Amino acid sequence: MAQDSEHTVAAGGTDRASGALYRRVASDLREAITSGSYGQSGRLPAEGALAEQYGVSRGTVRQALALLRADGLVTSRRGTRRVVLGNARVQSFSELLSFTHWARSMGEEPGGRLESLTRRPADAAEREQLRLEPGAEVYVTLRLRTLSGNPVMVERTVYPPRVGELVAQLPADVVSHTEPLREHGILFTDADHTIDVVAANADDARLLGCRRGSPLLRERRRTTDPTGTPVEWSQDRYLPGTVAFSVHNSLAASALSRHARDGD
């Protein structure tokens, strides 16, 4: 069997690191799936055919398919080829991107429409997340986000006063809040993410065109600036099948970290 390091991936270039090679195969397949090349509920070619197409071993193909399965793009049963689950856009947590930048990186046209903006006293959870003193006020926005004109997500964001005052001055149909805030020195540099599933409420159903109570994928996110000061506490609710999140972990990095701690 030919060695992976001696072959070229169809996406371009020769990579002598087999670990990087299967990721490039996965990236190429991911692009084909999200662009609709295999259709909804279509089947990917067999492992042997993919290995021949990309000039790699079946082991590399299996690693690439495992990434796609983790992304929620394909599934498989014993004895059958991988079935495409849908055309969900994959968003990676390996880098912090605004919805607008992420959408454009996928070749989509992002949209945003402000439904409401309120100023009110922060509740206990908001004070904790944004590190606010008792009695502090917050600005709360409710926005519909679209991809190429199609509703995909309802965004609820709580801002501390210094950020919310700037957001309140933005036009209701501005596509991105992040970009104009950056011009005022508000930087979004680090974030903690929590992913779960919630039932759509009345606002979700109205804006996304789904039934009340239907499941939505929720991402809760607290973002801080370079000094570690919180600049937003947000939750985004996505329609199923419109987005998938990917997370990369490294056993080597974990082992290195443990070794460093043990040496302290």
For residue range 208-218, list pLDDT tens digits in order: 999 999 999 99
Strand order in the sheet with 215-224: 110-121, 137-147, 150-159, 230-238, 215-224, 190-199
Q: In a 3-state reduction of DSSP, which class is residue 107? A: coil
For residue range 32-81, list pLDDT tens digits in order: 776 677 765 578 888 899 999 999 999 898 888 887 776 667 766 555 56
Nearest to 235 by CA among 114, 141, 135, 119: 141
For residue range 141-154, list pLDDT tens digits in order: 999 999 888 899 99
C-alpha–C-alpha distance, residues 11 and 41, integer Å: 24
